Every structure is written in structure tokens, then in C-alpha cells.
Amino acid sequence: MEKIVSLCKRRGFVFQGSEIYGGLAGTWDYGPYGAMLAHNIKSLWWKHFVGVREDMYGVSTSTIMSEAVWRSSGHLEGFTDPMVECAKCKRRFRTDHLPDVKKCPECGGSLGDEKTFNLLIPVELGSVAGETSRAYLRGEVAQGMFIHFKNILDTIRPKLPFGLAQMGKAYRNEIAPRDFLFRAREFDLMELEYFVREKEWEASFEMWRNEMHSWIEAVGIKKEIVHEVEIPNGERAHYSKRTIDFEFEYPFGQKELYGLAYRGEYDLKRHMEQAGVDFRYADESEEPFVPHVIEPTFGHGRTILAVLLSAYDEDELGGEKRVVLRFKKEIAPVKAAVFPLLKNKPELVAKAREVYSSLKLQVSSVQFDANGNIGKRYRRQDEIGTPVCITVDFQTLEDDTVTVRDRDSGVQERVSVNDIAKLVS
């Protein structure tokens, strides 16, 4: 983990939130390469689960939601963690994460009685003291899709089974955020709500189980260190009738990466009862009924962390040790880097700029790099995870070919300038 955190800071992937003021626990900011990696993962996820399917529809809902939403969904009561506070240093801890529930792991002081801690973050809306109304930052993105179920039926009239997809911010007032991007107070979720007839839920659950494995491979997470864990009764979320966690072998232990839940008709029925809105699905051939829901959930930050851990490697190339991120080409922050062989030769720099400008019109995320010698540039691009490096040399001036170096193998080949875009994309 120390190597990953160091690399992320050194190369501009991830910075601590509010860093210059000492940092704010549980918040992380993405630098230039981290922001592009995050964007590419989201784009691939959307293409994988929405773009190529006929039964999925995208939505984007507000991150601030009425208190009534969370009361109806059961989150005001059930979205909690067990907490204890140290009488001496006043630090708070999750009871289920402590080896000794009587002794503070930080200062050795006595821990108080266990309390229930709600993870939702309240916000007061309004500008006059005493005249505010309470809302909450959303703890999950699912509720935005549930409360608009009737609007979806009325506007696009989808046929069951169908799903809604959403990516966006969620917030949880974690007692003890930790382990880098794994447990944060602000994070992105990529989530699907797939609506089915009750008799179809098991087949749909299995279908999405397979789709999640397909995604794990597509995004470049090592599938051999991902394990399915069936969550037993008493440990599932309050809305779930069945849950499978996809757990990843992080350096700090095997922990949840993704979740697949069968939420039944719980959410739609609760909102229908509390809001008085008819959420039944009506089909010509059957009586109106409340659909059941299969929910695949993907933590975006946890995906980035698992991808970084899966891609990170140390090897030896050309007699030198190096650090390399072996990203899948689809998600690499930089798709290709263009170099002049020598930065003090104007004709090479001009030609490299020409190649770079042409390629940038055809391929996103191309970088021009003339800093340091060619070896240092290769090492820098290896640490960023750039799949190919393109070097403009004196032969380029004669025959319009360039040297293309593969990140993983280090193998170089001469390629026509006209064929670069096809090779990179």
C-alpha cells in the first residue's frame, strides 16, 4: 500500500483532500492522471453496462435528498454502524473493527458503551436560523432511481425486465475512514437497479453475477484475487433478501469490492406506501404489480484502488529495475506519448510536435514529452501506465517512420506515421 500511495502522490494520481491545511480524513482528490483514469473507468463502465444493452437507461439524480426519502427507505433507522468512544483521547471507533472493545487501540484508555451511529450526513437548507429544513446527502445513489420509477414508466414506457443506471457522488459519515481510497466519506458509486417479475429474480441475479465477473476482467482487475462471499441472514443490509459480495485481496486484507443484492420489492413498496404514488407496473397481459429489483453496485474509488493494485508491477528491463502500471489500454490515463529523440535538435522537436498534433486529433489522451533523456521519459511513462511511446528520430525525417515502444515488453518496432493512430486506438 505504501508504494501505491507514494506512486499516486508522486505521479499526480491522488492527493489528500485539503492537504495544505493538514488534510481532511476520508477525502481524496484526483490529480491529472487520476482524474483521467477515473473518467476512463466510468466511460468503460457505462459502455459495458448501458451503451451496448437495449434494456438499460441512464439517469442522474440530485445528491441532496429529502429527509422523507431516507425515512421511507429505512436508512434513518437501519443505515448505522456500532460505535464506541475513548474516554481519554475522545477518538471514535467501529466496535466491529476492534480486537478489544474495552481498551482504546490508540492511547490505551477506556472505551465507553456502544452506541448506534447513523452514516447519513444531514444538511440544513435555508438561510434564516430556526427556519431551516433538514435534508441529507445521499448515502447511496439507488434511492434517486427508485423515487423516479413512475416517471420512467410514464415517459419512456420500458418493458420488463429493464434497468436504470447511475454514476455519481455518495456520502457516508464514516466513524473511522481508512485504507486510502477504500473507505472514504465522499466517493463515487456506479450502480444499477434492474426491475424484474418476482419469478424471474433468480435468473436475473445469476445473469448479473456473470456480468460482474465480465466487468472485472474488462477493467483489468486480477480475477484470481477476487472472491465471491455469500452474506448470511442477519448480516445483510436491511433491504436485502440475498447478497453476494465480490471481495478483493487488498494489502490490508480481503475486503468488499462490489456487491450484488436482491432487494425484492422493498424500496418501491415503501415509497409507494409513504408517498402515496402508484409504483405498480401494468402490462396488458397481467394484473398490475410491484416489480422486484436486482442491484449490482460498484464502488468507483475501490475500483480505482483494485485496478492500481492489479496493474502495479516491478520488473527489470534492459538491465534496469523499473516500476510499471500495466493498465488495460481502454482505461490508461495516457494512451500514447510522443518524444523527440533529442530535445536540443529543433528539426526533431518540430517533427515530433507535428506527429503529436496529428495523433491528438484522432486519439484522446496523447502526451508530448521532451523532459530529460529518453530513458527517463520511458520510465516516467511506465509509471503513468502509458501503453506505447512514440519516438521521432533522424530516420523519421527521411522516411516518415517512427519507433514505437511497447510498455509491457519493451519491444520496439518501426511504424509508418500514417499507421500510428490505428496502432494506438
Residues 292 and 347 in one domain: no
With vertex at residue 223, the alpha carbon angle to CA 221 and CA 224, rounded to the nearest 5 degrees, is: 130
What per-residue confidence (pLDDT) applies to 379?
A: 94
| pTM more than 0.85 | yes
Residues 412 and 278 in one domain: no
What per-residue confidence (pLDDT) applies to 285?
A: 80
CATH number at residue 362: 3.40.50.800
> What backbone torsions phi and psi does residue 214 show, to the nearest 5 degrees?
-65, -40
Residues 369 and 272 in one domain: no
Report yes or no on 95 lying in a domain.
no
Residues 296 and 344 in one domain: no
Report yes or no on 166 lying in a domain.
yes
Could you tell me if 297 and 243 are in contact, meaning their C-beta atoms sit under 8 angstroms apart? no
Report yes or no on 122 lying in a domain.
no
Residues 298 and 243 in one domain: yes
Integer-rounded Cα Rg, in Å, for the chain is: 25
What per-residue confidence (pLDDT) applies to 131?
A: 62
Report yes or no on 132 lying in a domain.
no
Host domain of residue 297? 2-64+137-308
Report yes or no on 215 lying in a domain.
yes
Report yes or no on 395 lying in a domain.
yes
> 180 — alpha (psi -120 to 50), left (phi > 0) or beta?
left
Report yes or no on 86 lying in a domain.
no
Residues 175 and 302 in one domain: yes
Residues 293 and 340 in one domain: no
Residues 287 and 350 in one domain: no
What per-residue confidence (pLDDT) applies to 130?
A: 62
Per-residue pLDDT of the chain (425 residues; tens, 9 = 90+): 999 999 999 999 999 999 999 999 999 999 999 999 999 999 999 999 999 999 999 999 999 999 999 999 988 887 777 888 888 888 888 887 788 888 898 898 899 988 887 889 999 888 666 666 889 999 999 999 999 999 999 999 999 999 999 999 999 998 888 899 999 999 999 999 999 999 999 999 999 999 999 999 999 999 999 999 999 988 888 888 899 999 999 999 999 999 999 999 999 999 999 999 999 998 888 899 999 999 999 999 999 999 999 999 999 988 889 999 999 999 999 999 999 999 999 999 999 999 999 999 999 899 999 998 999 999 999 999 999 999 999 999 999 999 999 999 999 999 999 999 988 88
Residues 302 and 345 in one domain: no
Instruction: Give the integer Cα–Cα distance in Å for 165 and 204.
Output: 16
- Domains of the chain: total: 2
CATH number at residue 219: 3.30.930.10
Instruction: Give the integer Cα–Cα distance in Å for 158 and 247.
Output: 33
CA pseudo-torsion sign 15, 18, 19, 24 = negative
Report yes or no on 80 lying in a domain.
no
Instruction: Give the integer Cα–Cα distance in Å for 184 and 28.
Output: 8
Residues 300 and 354 in one domain: no
